[in-house]
Structure 1
Amino acid sequence: MTISGAARVGVCAVAVVAGVVSAGLIVALVVNPDMADRTASVTGAVVGLAAFVLALITLVHNPTTSPGTGSGRRRVRAGRGGIAAGGNIAGNAIGNRSKVVGSPTPARPATASGQNADVRAARDGLAAGGNVTDNAIGDDSERR
């Protein structure tokens, strides 16, 4: 998963704040253990509330879990020279001088487990959201 610039800054800010709070609690424990106990309790409550609010915000803004905001949509992407298909790839000749020869194999339905999964082919890669059958892929390849 790629993190955007704003998200990266947010993660770094949270890490810095967590480090400072942890160091402060350690110093408080050394200076006054009774005060450190109360401070840690309040800090834990505040952090728990912040995590709850962040979880709610994430649920509201996530398009795959919010009802009516494109749930069930699949993203299909291919890098330079890549091939990506949201469904089955069957009976194709891909590459220089490649050819598909012979009768095709009957198509099988795609499995339900990947119905909403993203499909991404890296540079010069091949990816499919369904079955890959009866293909000639690569230079001088031939399927008989």
Structure 2
Amino acid sequence: MGVWVVAVVAGVVSAGLIVALVVNPDMADRTASVTGAIVGLAAFVLAVTSLVHTPVPSSGTGGGRRVRAARGGIAAGGNITGNAIGDRSKVVGSPTPAGPAPASGQDSDVRAARDGLAAGGNVTDNALGDNSERR
């Protein structure tokens, strides 16, 4: 909604400046200068507000944990259990019961570097790497 309001206001101001240019070129020059100064000041205030404002994480659990993985990386906010990761990898046999989930009060970030693996919880029962197998 705000984008449309800005677009309409910008269109009306531009049309007004064009009309002013046709009707009275001397006045249009001064009007455009004042309008440019006001728009520049508004853009500066918006930029400072955007830089100062720290967004609240939008995690579904209400926590502040961020989970990020670089190119080729794998990251999980909780446990990684029973996965086959890599070419021709496979998990066979009965799975081990999953370990306890990470404590809900933990807000630490989970980040996997390039081609890395990171978990906020336990990593169990996985076949990791090419041609790997978990039995």
What band does the TM-score fall into relative to the shorter chain? 0.5 to 0.7
Aligned amino acid, residue 96 of structure 2? T
Identify which of 94, 112, 117 aligns with 1:121.
112
Deviation digits for residues 36-81 of structure 1, max 9, x if unmatched? xxxxxxxxxxxxxxxxxxxxxxxxx777xxxxx5572210000110
Tell me, yes or no, if structure 1 residue 103 matches structure 2 residue 99.
no
Distance 1:132 1:93 in 2: 12
Aligned amino acid, residue 86 of structure 1? G
Q: What is aligned with 1:74?
A: 65
Point out 4+ residue stretches in structure 1 off by more than 2 angstroms: 69-72, 110-115
Between Structure 1 and Structure 2, whose CA radius of gyration is higher? Answer: 2
Which SS does the other structure have where 2:111 is aligned?
strand
Q: What is aligned with 1:86?
A: 77
* Runs of 5+ unmatched residues, structure 2: 1-52
Which SS does the other structure have where 1:124 is aligned?
coil
Deviation digits for residues 100-133 of structure 1, max 9, x if unmatched? 0110000111342872110000000000011111
Q: What is aligned with 2:39?
A: none
* Runs of 5+ unmatched residues, structure 1: 1-60, 64-68
Q: Retained in 2: the 8 A contact 1:98–1:136?
A: yes
Aligned amino acid, residue 75 of structure 2? A
Q: Percent identity?
A: 82
TM-score (norm. length: structure 2): 0.53
TM-score (norm. length: structure 1): 0.50
CA pair 99-114 structure 1, distance change in 2 beyond 3 A = farther
Q: Larger RCO: Structure 1 or Structure 2 (Cα < 8 Å, ≥ 6 residues apart)?
A: 2
Aligned length in residues: 80
Q: CA RMSD in A?
A: 2.2
